[in-house]
Amino acid sequence: MRARLLSTSAIKLLKAPKLDVKNITSQLPSYLQSIKSRGLVAAQELIDQLQALPEHQTHLRAIDGQISKIQTRRNAIEREIKLDKSRMPALRDELVDLKSQFQSASQDHKKIQQQVQDTCLSLPNLIHASVPATEPEIVEWIHPRETYVAESKRDHHTIMVRKKMVDFQSASTVTGNSWYYLINEGAELELALVSYATNKAKEHGFLLCIPPSIAKNEIIDACGFRPRDMNNEQQIYHLQDTDLGLTATAEISLAGLGIQKELDLSKGPKKMCGISRSYRAEAGARGKDTRGLYRVHEFTKVELFCWSVPEESDRILEELRGLQVEIINELGLSAKVLNMPANDLGAPAYKKYDIEAWMPGRGSFGEVTSSSNCTDYQSRRMNTKFKNISTGKSEYVHTLNGTAMAIPRIILALVENFHDANTDQIAIPKALQPYMGGRKFI
């Protein structure tokens, strides 16, 4: 990626984000609504802190005025002493008092400023006007059916174990529950899906990247992946005695490519496609979906990530959604595209689409892709900017992310939808056959 470094020094820690407090206070009702609508843990505490922002700002301005008066008087005394050193004994006590006042005022200013910074850092993003309140909105169907019937005989767990495509038992012995071995055609299917998804991404202008699967905790946090999610369940595996964690998605390490950089977006957005192993500590914690591949601790994922100028991010989110629809459509899966409600949005997301595919063995639709516009939530924390050609000023980019392929769930959907009980074969979608050696069935 061509970019100009904003700092040539080695990046050890992220700099404190430059949050637009004035803009936040001017949109106080919108931020309050964002907190309430998302159903955040400790929402009332954050609301109280947010509502105190205008008072804090007023207090800071008053302290600034106080400090200015102190400095003005100190400068006047220093000029007077410079002109007549004999005045020093008479003015010494006042100078000492002014120094004490300055230190006290500066400490108060620093304390309040930190409270303001902490409050603003804890705020979720604003919410796009089109986002529904509490229930997903179906915006598009892919290969819709007249009826959807649960079929327990299509359970992917049973089929794949019998066909020796997966080994859950050995993984449970070696590692624990919600881990698995993909073997034989199961492993081949993963490789085929990765190749198919990355080729689709390249066709849409994405550059390929294999990023690290470990990142500094501050980078993980800056992307909006808190140690615990909205349900107070652990999200991230942290490495003991280090400041590192396992990435839940390549989004985290891809976002890190923009740290302390000014990107050249004059010719359009920067688009990266990352292939990585992803780790989710909360898998199975909700007491459901613990059987099979739907909710696992480790999996391969092909992730899409974009850096955009602000005025184009809404359009780019629609492009991400379009690519995801194209992939699910070509795989022949029946699915629905959802505009996700505010109470399902993570802190960074301004707007999010999910695609849920029908999984007859599970007897329900299940999420297979997600795409989000995070506006400047991540870029402010990463200090990722672009130069606005019309103004010549550096501004914060908008970041977007989307799933190209979450491997286990797509394998699950393919097996449960395309297994033929009479032949015990699984039909391979035409789009995937070139990546499976031309085979039509496994």
The pair of three-digit structure tokens given for residue 3, joined into one six-digit string: 């970019």
**Does 282 belong to an annotated binding site?**
yes
**Does 133 belong to an annotated binding site?**
no
**Does 297 belong to an annotated binding site?**
yes
**Does 225 belong to an annotated binding site?**
no
Q: What span, in angstroms and rounded, lies between the C-alpha atoms of 406 and 398?
A: 24
Q: What span, in angstroms and rounded, lies between the C-alpha atoms of 49 and 25?
A: 12
**Does 281 belong to an annotated binding site?**
yes
**Does 296 belong to an annotated binding site?**
yes
Residue 307: DSSP 8-state: E
- Report yes or no: 412 and 189 within 8 Å, Cβ to Cβ: no
Query: Strand 166-167 and strand 181-182: pairing?
Result: antiparallel
Cβ-proximal residues to 296 (8 Å cutoff; 6+ apart), any chain: 178, 179, 180, 280, 283, 408
**Does 134 belong to an annotated binding site?**
no
Q: What span, in angstroms and rounded, lies between the C-alpha atoms of 186 and 163?
A: 9
**Does 401 belong to an annotated binding site?**
yes
- Report yes or no: 48 and 31 within 8 Å, Cβ to Cβ: no
**Does 55 belong to an annotated binding site?**
no
C-alpha distance from residue 277 to each of 160, 253, 310, 395, 398 (Å): 21, 12, 30, 32, 25
Query: Strand 207-209 and strand 270-279: pairing?
Result: parallel
Q: What span, in angstroms and rounded, lies between the C-alpha atoms of 417 and 316?
A: 31
**Does 201 belong to an annotated binding site?**
no
**Does 299 belong to an annotated binding site?**
yes
Q: Looking up tokens 């020093």, which residue turns up?
A: 88
Q: What span, in angstroms and rounded, lies between the C-alpha atoms of 151 and 275?
A: 33
**Does 300 belong to an annotated binding site?**
no
**Does 131 belong to an annotated binding site?**
no
- Return phi, psi of residue 215, to 5°: -140, 160
Question: Which amino acid is residue 55, in one-letter code?
Answer: E
Point out the annotated binding site for ATP.
Answer: 280-282, 296-299, 367-370
Point out the annotated binding site for L-serine.
Answer: 249, 280, 303, 401
Point out the annotated binding site.
Answer: 249, 280-282, 296-299, 303, 367-370, 401
